[in-house]
Amino acid sequence: MMEELYTKLFVNSERSQQDLFAFVAEVSSGEGEERWTVVSGDYEMDVRLNDEGTEEARRTHPGDFLYFPFTVEVVAEGNPSDVANYVRFVGSLMTELHAKGMQVVASCDWEGELPGRGRLGV
């Protein structure tokens, strides 16, 4: 049975959405397929503005990842045996984003298996 593997990354960065999109494409060796979507092999990443991440919300809730300005949703179609490769891919993406000075928090069923237990820079 096929299931969708899904992780939502909350990303705190001073970069623009376009810069973050280009960086995600670069570090994942992916291609921009449509506006704000990067495809790399079996993985699709949507780089979005976080609707909850308004300037007012960030002032009111400083440091709360739910209000980071961006999200990167990482999706793969796969089966349970693909979970390890998927987790490695997400972990690598998180590490690359953090190496560029971004705070990254993952929301998924395997946070404990990711670098920093799903929290880098926070």
How many domains does the structure of the chain reveal?
1
Burial class (CB in 10 A: 0-12, 13-18, 19+), 31: exposed
The H or E element containing residue 17 is helix 17-27
pLDDT digit string (tens) for 54-97? 888 888 887 789 899 999 999 986 655 678 889 999 999 999 99
Q: Which one has a higher pLDDT value, 42 or 119? A: 119
Compute the residue count for the chain: 122
Task: Enter the pTM of the model.
Answer: 0.90
- Tens of pLDDT, residues 20-45: 999 999 999 888 877 899 988 888 99
Confidence band (pLDDT; 50, 70, 90) for 1?
Answer: very low
Distance of alpha carbon 94 from alpha carbon 12, whole angstroms: 12
Structural domain span for residue 108: 3-120
What's the CATH code of the domain at 103?
A: 3.30.70
